[in-house]
Structure formats: C-alpha cells, structure tokens
C-alpha cells in the first residue's frame, strides 16, 4: 500500500537560495554557508530538546492549576514522547523528500506555534495539544542536524562538530530541570514557555534568512502500511515502557503497560519485515541497511545503554534529592547543573580528540567511568552529603560525554552517504526508546526495592533510599555491557568526498 508522493518541481528562483561550494568562503575545510546553517540548527535543536524535559518538575504545579490526577497530567510528557516516536521514524523519508530549508522552517514554525499555544493555554487539553505540536517540530530537527553534519562536514572535522550535537542531546535534557526549577521558584509555569518563545522566534527568523537549500529533494514513496506499523510499534513501546514506570510508582494508566509493549513489539516485528522487503526497491520508510555495518550496530548498542542510563539517572536523582535528602526543586536543579555544564564543556574537546585519535581511546575509558559513577551511586543513602552527589553526577556526565560524541560520529560515519538520513532516523528513534526503557527500568527497580524494604520493617525514608540503591546497582550492571562492547568499536573507513551543495 504505497502512495507516490513526488515533490513539486522546484522553481528556478528557489535555486538562488543555494550557493555552490566553490563560491563559499571556507575556514578549516568547512564552507561558510555550512557553518551558518549548523549554527542555526544547533541553537534551534538545543532549545527544542531543552523543552522536552522541562515539564517533569512542573507537573505538581499543573496538577493543582488544572485540578488533575498524576495519571492525567502525565500526558504532557507522554504525549510529547509519543509524538516524537511517531514522527522520528519518518524523518529519513522527510529529509529526502523536502529541501533543508523547507524542513527547517516547517520544524521551527511548528515548535514556535506550539510554544505560543502552551503559554496561552487556559484548559488542559489545549496544553496537551500544544505539547504535541511542539514535539512534531522537535522530532525532525535532530535528524536534520546530524544528517547535515555527516553530509557536508569533512570527515577529519566531524568529531568536534558532533561534540556540539552532544551538548544538544545530553546537556539540554540535563539542565531542563534546573531551568524549570528556577522558573517555578520565581514565576508562573507559563514562563517555561514564554522564556523560550523569543529564542524560538529569533531562530526562525535567522534560519529563514540564513538557511539555504543544501540538497536537491528527490521523488520518494510513502508506504502507508509502514507508517502505520511504525506509529504502533514505536508509539506502543515508548508508551508501554513509560507506563511501566508510572504503574510501578502507583499511578493509573489508561492502557495496561504490558499490553502496549506487546502490541508495540508485534508491530515492530512486522515493521522490520516490511522494511526488509521494501528496501530491495529503495522504497523503505526506514531503511535498515545501516545495521549491515558492524560499527553502526555496535555504536547503536552502546548508545542505547548510554541513553537508558542518562534518562534513568535524570528521573532518579531528583527523586532521591527531594524525597530522601529533602531538597526543593530549585536546589535539586542546582545540584545537577554542574554535571550538565561539565558535559557541555567537554563535548567539543572530546570531539577534537576523536578527530585526532579515533573512537576506541575514548569510548573504553568513557564506559569505565560511566560504570564507576553508577557504582558510586549505589553508595547514596539518607545521610549522603550533597557535595558527594554533585561529584558523582559530574563523573557520570563526563563518562556519557566521552561516549556519545565518538559513538554518534563513528556509527554514522561507517555508512554510505545515501544512508545518512536513515541512519540518523534510526539513531534518534532508538534513543527515544532507550530513554523510555531506562526510565521504566530505573523507576520499577526503585519501587520494588522500596516495597521490599518496607516489608522488612524499614521506615519510609530508608526504604526509598534502599530502592534507589537497587536501581543504581542494576544501572551499574547495565553499564558493564557498554564496557564490554567498547572494545569492539572501530574507526570507520574514510568516506568519499562531500557532495556539492544544491545549485
């Protein structure tokens, strides 16, 4: 069941927005035009991914504002994740079907409109709809950014450029709670959106002026059955995994979590089978040939562990800091801020080291630091000093930073150029699944561990600390998988030269 969605003919006037490489002023091998585009994409992506995690701290306030239960208000984060899960798998097709400029502007328009609607929302359904609109724009931006880097940045400079993307992927979610905690300590929840809105408008205007058509779109087919299977598969998995954590925490979920996971798993199997058949004719919604590359497959496995650990830690640390140590939301945000800053500052440095030495000298020690930091987190209890938590979180952040930049760069760099957009879509989709899985696993382990401790006669505070100890213990065991896999990472072979820009 396919629909041939061919792009309309591009008027000759549109070609004037693209500058050939030969006419671009270059610096250190990167055309000026690409530098401008990447700068705008990075700013836009950072704001969008930051927005993905700001709601967690605000949920209690919104429950009071709209007179909602925890199960209902959770749709602000669940709806966002589900939209991302539905849209991201289609970005491989979108990036081939439309020009860079068209995709960028559409993405920013959706995000800006959603942000404005959220700030003005007076009833809860409107706020949920606004979050869905925001997510629709966010889902496209990161694959667009990664595909642009892999296509137009010379191989010898990709590491430092992907290091900047690490800031977007890892730092923005890490400082989201700090940002929202500061806003909620002084202002209304609406300012979480009002503060972002001017930046989104500025990025949109700047992008409309600077972003040119870097590539020529081509006719591609949209397979409706693949789109449907993809939506049920990834939507079901992410909703189900997120709901497992919610159910373990005692919250009601409209759909039984394991039923959603089962439906998602069955749909995923059918989706994979259909893509394997369609990719023989270059008609797959998500081409799975990137998995034929050993470097890509190993990198993806390690990235999944890293993202599960990152999001699991992001959900557990605030619970520990507030429920066990008794900190407020602003103090909690400040405790995790140094880790976010460490990850941001180290990203470009790690990228330069990758360009010089390749991935293995970075991912092996990075995975060891990650496992060690999670091991130290098992020592946290109701008497731990806040400074000790800060140090451990900084170590965790540095370990993740040392892993993510080399893994993203080497994984995508091992692919043929025509598979970059599909590789980016696969990577972004599975990162969402891994984040949901990490959250589910960590919350479930914490909840069951705390329940066992209560049954053994522990007071609630000690029981909560025991549950968090169990979750981090399993997290450290998960990280050992990354340590073992790190020895399989190889530097990708040098790719062919970058293509000329559209003209």
- Take residue 106 and report the two structure tokens written for it: 């559409």
d(CA 43, CA 131): 20
What φ, ψ does residue 27 adopt, rounded to 5°? Answer: -140, 120
What are the chain's domains? 24-486 (1.20.1250.20)
Q: How far apart are CA 305 and CA 434, in angstroms?
A: 7
**Which helix (H) or strand (E) element contains residue 27?**
strand 26-27
| 313/333 Cα distance (integer angstroms) | 13
Q: What is the pLDDT of residue 252?
A: 65
Q: Beta strand pairing status for 2-5 and 30-31?
A: unpaired
Do 304 and 412 form a contact (C-beta atoms < 8 A)? no
CA 255, 256, 259, 264 dihedral sign is positive
Q: How far apart are CA 266 and CA 289, in angstroms?
A: 21
Q: Convert 421-439 into a string of H (helix), E (strand) and C (coil).
A: HHHHHHHHHHHHHHHHHHH
Among 244, 210, 255, smallest CA distance to 101 is for 210
Q: What is the pLDDT along the chain (503 residues), one digit of tens a residue?
A: 444 444 444 333 334 334 443 333 344 567 777 788 888 888 888 888 888 777 767 777 788 888 876 667 777 877 887 888 888 888 888 888 888 888 889 999 999 999 999 999 999 999 999 999 999 998 888 888 888 888 788 877 888 888 777 777 767 776 777 788 788 878 888 998 999 899 899 989 988 888 777 667 777 777 889 889 998 998 888 888 777 766 655 666 667 888 888 999 999 999 999 999 988 888 888 889 999 888 899 889 888 888 887 777 777 887 788 888 888 777 877 888 888 788 878 888 888 898 888 888 999 999 999 899 988 988 888 888 999 999 999 998 898 889 888 888 888 888 888 888 888 888 888 887 887 788 778 888 887 888 888 888 777 788 888 888 888 888 888 888 888 888 888 877 654 444 444 44
CA dihedral (395, 164, 234, 359) positive or negative: negative
Q: What is the pLDDT of residue 392?
A: 92
Query: Residue 22's pLDDT is what?
Result: 36
Give me the pLDDT at residue 251, please: 62
DSSP string, 374-408: HHHHTT--TT--HHHHHHHHHHHHHHHHHHHHHHH
Q: Which residues neighbour 277 within 8 Å (Cβ) at sequence distance 6 or greater?
A: none
Residues, the chain, total?
A: 503
> For 121-158, what is the HEC assignment?
CCCHHHHHHHHHHHHHHHHHHHHHHHHHHHHHCCHHHH
Rounded Cα distance between 269 and 274, Å, is 9
Q: Distance between CA 263 and CA 285 in Å, rounded? A: 20
User: For residues 304 and 438, is the Cβ–Cβ distance under 8 A?
Assistant: no
Candidates 297, 316, 244; CA nearest to 468 is: 316
| Confidence at residue 116, expressed as pLDDT on a 0 to 100 scale | 95
Tokens at 360, concatenated: 């293995």
**Tokens standing for residue 370:** 């990650």
CA distances from 157 to 111, 132, 237 (A): 30, 35, 36
- With a CB cutoff of 8 Å and minimum separation 6, the contacts of 1 are 223, 224, 225
The pLDDT of residue 339: 85
Place of tokens 């800091």: 321
| d(C-alpha 332, C-alpha 222), whole Å | 45
DSSP secondary structure letters along 176-205:
HHHHHHHHHHHS-TTHHHHTTHHHHHHHHH
């Amino acid at each position: 069941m396919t629909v041939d969605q061919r792009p309309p003919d591009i008027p000759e006037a549109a070609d004037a927005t693209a500058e050939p490489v030969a006419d671009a002023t270059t610096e250190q091998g990167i055309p000026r035009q690409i530098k401008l585009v990447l700068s705008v994409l990075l700013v836009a992506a950072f704001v969008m991914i930051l927005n993905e995690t700001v709601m967690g701290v605000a949920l209690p306030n919104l429950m009071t504002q709209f007179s909602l239960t925890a199960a209902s208000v959770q749709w602000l984060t669940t709806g966002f994740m589900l939209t991302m899960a539905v849209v991201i798998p289609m970005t491989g097709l979108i990036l081939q079907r439309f020009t860079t400029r068209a995709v960028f502007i559409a993405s920013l328009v959706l995000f800006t409109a959603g942000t404005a609607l959220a700030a003005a929302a007076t009833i809860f359904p409107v706020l949920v709809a606004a979050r869905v609109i925001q997510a629709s724009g966010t889902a496209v931006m990161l694959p667009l950014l990664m595909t642009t880097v892999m296509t137009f940045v010379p191989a010898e400079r990709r590491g430092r450029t992907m290091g900047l993307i690490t800031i977007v992927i890892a730092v923005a979610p890490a400082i989201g709670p700090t940002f929202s905690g500061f806003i909620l300590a002084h202002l209304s929840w609406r300012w979480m959106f009002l503060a972002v809105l001017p930046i989104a408008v500025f990025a949109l205007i700047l992008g409309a002026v600077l972003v040119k058509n870097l590539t020529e779109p081509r006719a591609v087919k949209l397979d409706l059955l693949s789109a449907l299977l993809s939506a049920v598969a990834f939507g079901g998995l992410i909703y189900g995994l997120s709901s497992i954590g919610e159910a373990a925490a005692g919250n009601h979920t409209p759909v039984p979590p394991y039923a959603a996971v089962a439906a998602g798993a069955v749909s995923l199997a059918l989706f994979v089978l259909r893509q394997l058949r369609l990719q023989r004719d270059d008609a797959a919604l998500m081409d799975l040939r990137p998995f034929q590359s050993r470097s890509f497959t190993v990198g993806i496995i390690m990235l999944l562990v890293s993202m599960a650990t990152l999001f699991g830690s992001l959900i557990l640390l605030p619970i520990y800091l507030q429920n066990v140590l008794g900190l407020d939301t602003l103090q909690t945000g400040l405790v995790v801020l140094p880790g976010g800053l460490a990850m941001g500052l180290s990203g470009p440095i790690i990228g330069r080291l990758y360009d010089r030495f390749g991935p293995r000298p970075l991912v092996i020690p990075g995975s060891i630091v990650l496992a060690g930091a999670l091991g130290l987190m098992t020592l946290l209890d109701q008497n731990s000093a806040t400074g000790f938590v800060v140090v451990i979180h900084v170590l965790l952040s540095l370990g993740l930073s040392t892993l993510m930049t080399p893994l993203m760069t080497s994984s995508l760099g091992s692919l043929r150029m025509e598979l970059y957009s599909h590789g980016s879509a696969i990577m972004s989709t599975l990162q969402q699944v891994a984040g949901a899985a990490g959250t589910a696993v960590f919350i479930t382990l914490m909840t069951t561990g705390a329940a066992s401790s209560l049954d053994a006669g522990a007071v609630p505070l000690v029981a909560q600390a025991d549950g968090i100890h169990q979750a981090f213990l399993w997290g450290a065991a998960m990280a050992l998988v990354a340590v073992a896999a790190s020895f399989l990472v190889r530097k990708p072979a040098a790719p062919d030269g970058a293509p000329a820009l559209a003209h």
